Structure 1
């Protein structure tokens, strides 16, 4: 990978992490990006939308 290409990827990765309020580690961000790309290109099944574990509480126990 060229330095120019690596710089562009690094900037995009940092921006992605910042857009998620810095709640992702570098490894988590890369994993999320790859998972989303693979799913959107048919390499992984699409995930169903739902509540994140931290959003679950007794009020949504149905």
Structure 2
């Protein structure tokens, strides 16, 4: 990785951490960013919670 590229990534990471006060460490920020990206691109299941198909019946319809 070139120094210029690394600097841009590091600056973006610092901005992300500043915008997300619950992120305590650099490693947590990187993990969150990667998990979000992987989920949004179909590599990980989304974090949406829902009912399991076997738990659905007519009483669940809205």
**TM tier, shorter chain?**
0.7 to 0.9
* TM score, norm. by length of structure 2: 0.73
Q: Deviations over 1:4-40 (max 9, x none)?
A: 0000000000000000126321000000000000000
Rg comparison, structure with higher value: 2
Question: TM-score, normalising length from structure 1?
Answer: 0.73
RMSD: 1.4
- Runs of 5+ consecutive residues of structure 2 not aligned to the other structure: 50-62
Number of equivalenced pairs: 49
Cα separation, 2, equivalents of 1:28 and 1:21: 11
